[in-house]
Amino acid sequence: MTLKEIYNKLDEISPFELQEKWDNSGLILGDFNSGIKEIVLSLDIDEEIIKNANDGTLFIVHHPLIFGKLSSLNLAKYPANLLALMIKKNQSLIAMHTNFDKTHLNKYVFEEILGFKIEKQSDFICSSKVNLKTVELFKLLKERLNLKKIKVVNYKEKINSIALTTGAGASLLDFIDADCFLTGDIKYHDAMKALSEDKMLVDIGHFESEQFFVNAMELLLNSMPISVIITQSKNPFEIFTL
């Protein structure tokens, strides 16, 4: 298959035009006329994944390697160092970020991973009525997301409704009307705001909540006549018990 054929298929699955204005989903590196030998799926791209992949591989990732203005290419520094490695191996890179959040990822994590049934959904928020003790929710999150710790704002013993945004969604707090909001990368001032508004926040991690991008994407590509391989990137954060 050509890179263009695969790109067009991805655009049908989750239109790139749905991405946020600040985003950089779509083709990051490659020639639309080039032939693709295999596809590798990962949340992010890193040096180990590039070196272990074959020449001519197409990487489909969630997070764009290039964000914002790229004014120079210092090949000793990120992200140019990774781009240089891929160019040497004739590899290509496509990002499916906020467009895929809207069409697939949040729904997949909410329903397929956590087992909730969506009752309301906006671009980035899935929500539902529940009848859960918070300790039961914590057990579920630990098992399904492989969480080593759980940070909570405004703990409540029981919740009757729940909402989720994968990745970093605390900026959407004003649009949450559920008892409990699950998201990652919760900042201090977001926590203070939630506390003042009597909203419960649970930080489920950025990597931890989005790691299932590869699973959701693999299901959508399994009918394509090309090898699709999952090679998950590593969580850049390590947790130490003091």
pLDDT tens-digit series, residues 154-180: 999 999 999 999 999 999 999 999 999
Domain 100-209: homologous superfamily in CATH: NIF3 (NGG1p interacting factor 3)-like (3.40.1390.30)
pLDDT tens-digit series, residues 117-135: 999 999 999 999 999 999 9
> At the topology level of CATH, where does 3-97+211-230 sit?
3.40.1390
| Common-topology check for domains 3-97+211-230 and 100-209 | yes
What residue segments make up the domains of the chain, in order of their start? 3-97+211-230, 100-209
pLDDT tens-digit series, residues 26-35: 999 999 999 9
Query: Strand, coil or helix: what is 84?
Result: helix
Q: Nearest CA to 126 among 97, 99, 147, 104?
A: 104
Q: Nearest CA to 89 among 62, 67, 59, 44?
A: 59
Question: What are the mean pLDDT values of the chain's consecutive 10-residue runs (242 residues total)?
Answer: 97 98 97 96 98 97 92 93 97 98 98 97 97 97 94 96 97 95 97 95 97 98 94 91 80
